[in-house]
Chain A
Amino acid sequence: MRGGALVLVRLALLAAVLLLWEGLPRSGIVNPMLLPPLSDVLDALVVILGRPDVHHALGITAAEVVVAFAIAVPLGTALGVLSAENEYFGEIFRPMLFYVFSIPKSIFLPMFILVFGIGFPQKVAYAAFSTVFIVIMSASAAVESVKAEHLLVARSYGATRQQILRRVYLPSMLPILLEALRISMIFNFTGVMIAEMYASRVGIGRLIADWGENFEMAKLLAGVILLAAAAMAFNEAVRSLEARCSTWRA
């Protein structure tokens, strides 16, 4: 299918879903208590976006997401590079990392509450913990993607260690690292949301959990739309950067 036609079909599909979302509850085919019509949800979205407590919650959640990300990504990258580059460190830690990676991180959440209490540090610590393993894996895969012959060429032309890092390692690793950034944000955001919904006093996850418990479906879905938009915006931003940095990967 040609690009233009493909976009049209996709838009038509989206329009159909939105129409059904509006029409099915209105006609009573779907219980509007469980799925309020789209227009009601959009009204609710406007209402919650005007509420100061929602602003406050969004601010807190955003801060948790940013801080957890800022801890998990550099830490995970450093550990990943170390485990790929340092044979000794790699042999010792890599199997352990693989085992821990396979465990669902949410089962550790009660421990984080015991250690950090309920609040900002607990959310950040848990989200960083649930993110750091995927960063370690990706960073070590990125290092391993650097080709031996590319390093040899640089050495044969007298490159210094620093030049090899900047001119061979970095460009080789960049596409994989950007992809890792995108995927780790998914883990990171999920981590913050789970921590907020499980136990917290503030944050947008808390509000969404409350709306669910109080059966305020329009607000709940408005919150979902809001977070989905934020997550997709970040994802697409990194993806466009990724595309620009990897045109050479044919």
Chain B
Amino acid sequence: MQYMAGVSGERAGAMKAAVDVRGLSHVYDGRDGAVPALQDIDLTVPAGRFVVIVGPSGCGKTSLLMMLAGLRLPTSGTILCDGRPIAKPDPARVGVVFQEASLYPWLTAVENVEFPLVLKRAPRAERRARAEAMLRLVGLDGFGARHPHELSGGMKQRVSIARGLVQDPPVLLMDEPFAALDEQTRMTMGHELLRIWSQTAKTVVFITHSLTEAVYLADEVLVMSARPGRILDRITIDLPRPRTYQMMATEEFGRLRERIWEQIRTTP
């Protein structure tokens, strides 16, 4: 386990599973009958680990994430989160960061961040202080009063991350959070996410289409097949942490990226 250097390594030492998925399958009713979407997914994510899931469009990545979030029920199999089953959304255990445009445009940045606490009926002063602290963490100090349309794409996703973290859940699920951003912003946001991750000690399950993003962020990359989605390969990314942009130019980085691409490319 020497590859898990730095902050994540200390936490991984405990090896307590933050997310534990056993024999998960999902079949949904399509127009032409039952469609198998996910098949025999086994997934164990130790606490503090950063896991990235990649796979072709329509492979059920998002379905899997919805189930981890308790937003959708699997047809069979079990999902444990922090040792207990997930049957409905439980924001104290699992925070979700969605794709772009998931912020409420009628709320300001700080009101968006405190939204989960409003639902919990937390006292006003307490939730405002907590939301402000989260905005500071994601580097948006002083932007709390702005509405989403006054923020750039990257800033909006920082707000989304702050909202996902506001209840301090041990697990953070991220569904292609940077997909709509331009390349430079995307790189910056990936780097920022790693900084936030190392400061908050969360377990992250992150979905992306970008192989570079996957290798750059992950402790482990899971490659999924086309429908019905299965886990084809688990690739440990043993690049040292903290990650730097320079690593992207290394041979090791290219080799890992190539291996993931081979898996996706050669599987029908």
Contacts and interface: CB of A to CB of B under 8 A. Distances in A.
Interface of A: 147, 149-150, 152-160, 163, 167-168, 171-172, 247-250
B149 interface: yes
Interface in B85-104: 88-91, 96, 98-99, 101-102, 104
Contacts of B102: 149-150, 152-153
A157 to B, nearest CB: 4
6 contacts: A149-B98, A149-B101, A156-B69, A156-B89, A157-B116, A248-B147
Q: How large is the interface on B (under 10, 10 to 19, 20 to 34, 35 or more residues)?
A: 20 to 34
Contacts of B70: 156
Given A156-B69, A156-B71, A156-B91, A167 B101 contact: no
Contacts of B90: 158
A154 B119 contact: yes
Given A154-B119, A157-B116, A147 B101 contact: yes
A167 to B, nearest CB: 7
Nearest to B69: A156
Contacts of B104: 150, 153, 168, 171
Contacts of A153: 96, 98, 102, 104, 115
B72 to A, nearest CB: 10
B105 A248 contact: yes
A174 to B, nearest CB: 8
Contacts, number: 59
Given A156-B91, A157-B91, A248-B149, A171 B119 contact: no
B118 interface: yes
Given A149-B99, A163-B119, A248-B147, A155 B71 contact: yes
Interface of B: 69-71, 88-91, 96, 98-99, 101-102, 104-107, 115-116, 118-120, 147-150
Chain B at the A interface: mostly helix, strand, loop or mixed? loop
Contacts of A250: 105, 147, 149-150
A244 to B, nearest CB: 12
A153 B90 CA distance: 12
A247 B119 CA distance: 24
A167 B106 CA distance: 10
A149 B98 CA distance: 8
Contact residues of A: prevailing secondary structure: helix
Given A153-B104, A167-B119, 4 more contacts: A149-B102, A160-B119, A171-B104, A247-B147
Contacts of B105: 248-250
Contacts of B120: 158
A130 to B, nearest CB: 32
Contacts of A156: 69-71, 89, 91, 96, 98
A153 to B, nearest CB: 5
Given A149-B99, A149-B102, A157 B115 contact: yes
Nearest to A171: B106
A159 B147 CA distance: 22
Residue in A155, A158, A160, A163 whose Cβ sees the most chain B Cβ within 10 Å: A158
A15 B109 CA distance: 46
10 residue pairs, one from A and one from B, having the closest CB atoms: A250-B149, A157-B116, A248-B106, A156-B96, A171-B106, A248-B105, A157-B91, A149-B102, A158-B89, A248-B147
Contacts of B147: 247-248, 250
Nearest to B100: A149
A235 B101 CA distance: 32
Nearest to B94: A156
A237 B89 CA distance: 42
Contacts of B150: 250
Contacts of A149: 98-99, 101-102
Contacts of B99: 149
Contacts of A171: 104, 106
Contacts of A167: 115, 118-119
Nearest to A164: B119
A159 B71 CA distance: 12
Nearest to B90: A158
Nearest to A154: B119
Contacts of B148: 248
Contacts of B107: 248
A93 B102 CA distance: 32
Contacts of A147: 101
Nearest to B120: A158
Contact of B119 (A152, A159, A172, A248): A159
Nearest to B70: A156
Which interface residue of A150, A157, A168, A172 has the most chain B CB atoms within 10 A? A157
A147 B115 CA distance: 17
